[in-house]
Chains A and B, each alone.
Chain A
Amino acid sequence: EDQVTQSPEALRLQEGESSSLNCSYTVSGLRGLFWYRQDPGKGPEFLFTLYSAGEEKEKERLKATLTKKESFLHITAPKPEDSATYLCAVQPGPNKLSFGAGTTVTVRA
């Protein structure tokens, strides 16, 4: 069964303190690894898609990387506005995504 596990569940950072979030996955035939950001009380917002091991994508202070078994979301010098829940997902079949439970990041000024 396809599975996505994210760690840690919660991460509290000081502004400027870089850190990484982990997403480990088991899926038969990876069609893509996806990262979303979700603010409280809102729908998730698409961030990145990674397709193959070794691939990296960047957006502002965020960088996503992918290996054969896991993906990392690196947050460099975070700001309070980076506080959110970050979700990763894989595609277990055509037209659908399977999401992890997310990592809630809190950045204090």
Chain B
Amino acid sequence: SQTIHQWPATLVQPVGSPLSLECTVEGTSNPNLYWYRQAAGRGLQLLFYSVGIGQISSEVPQNLSASRPQDRQFILSSKKLLLSDSGFYLCAWGSAYEQYFGPGTRLTVT
């Protein structure tokens, strides 16, 4: 069966610090991978998606970036965090028709 992992589960970072969130998927090959952010009381905002290694589509221009160095690994990064980057970050795999989400990372930028 397929499993999706995200870490860390929670993170508190100061403004201006770098960020690296990792997502890995087990039990499937060449999955579509997605990064979402959910701000308090709001829906999911699609940040990036990838249909293959090295292929990244950006949905929202901002100070975040994503990379897919391996087939089942998806990384979300930032060089300098902003207060507005706080939120619940979710990784998902699947297709537009059915997506399976990871447990999420709660990021607080102070």
Interface residues, chain A, with chain B CB atoms under 8 Å away: 4, 6, 31-32, 34, 41-46, 49, 87, 89, 91, 94-102
Contact = CB atoms under 8 A, between A and B. Distances in A.
A43 B90 contact: yes
B97 A87 contact: no
Contacts of A4: 43
B95 A44 contact: no
A87 B43 contact: yes
B101 A49 contact: no
B59 interface: yes
Per DSSP, are chain B's interface residues mostly helix, strand or loop, or mixed?
strand
Given A41-B104, A43-B92, A99 B97 contact: no
A96 B59 contact: yes
Contacts of A89: 44
27 contacts: A31-B96, A32-B97, A34-B97, A34-B98, A41-B106, A42-B104, A43-B101, A43-B104, A44-B44, A44-B90, A44-B99, A45-B101, A49-B97, A49-B98, A87-B43, A95-B49, A95-B51, A95-B95, A96-B57, A96-B96, A97-B96, A97-B99, A98-B46, A99-B43, A99-B44, A99-B45, A102-B43
Q: How large is the interface on B (under 10, 10 to 19, 20 to 34, 35 or more residues)?
A: 20 to 34
Given A34-B98, A99-B43, 7 more contacts: A44-B44, A44-B90, A46-B98, A49-B97, A95-B49, A96-B57, A99-B45
B43 A101 contact: yes
B103 A42 contact: yes
Q: Most chain-A CB neighbours within 10 Å: which of B41, B96, B98, B102?
A: B96
B108 interface: no
Nearest to A102: B43
A96 B49 contact: yes
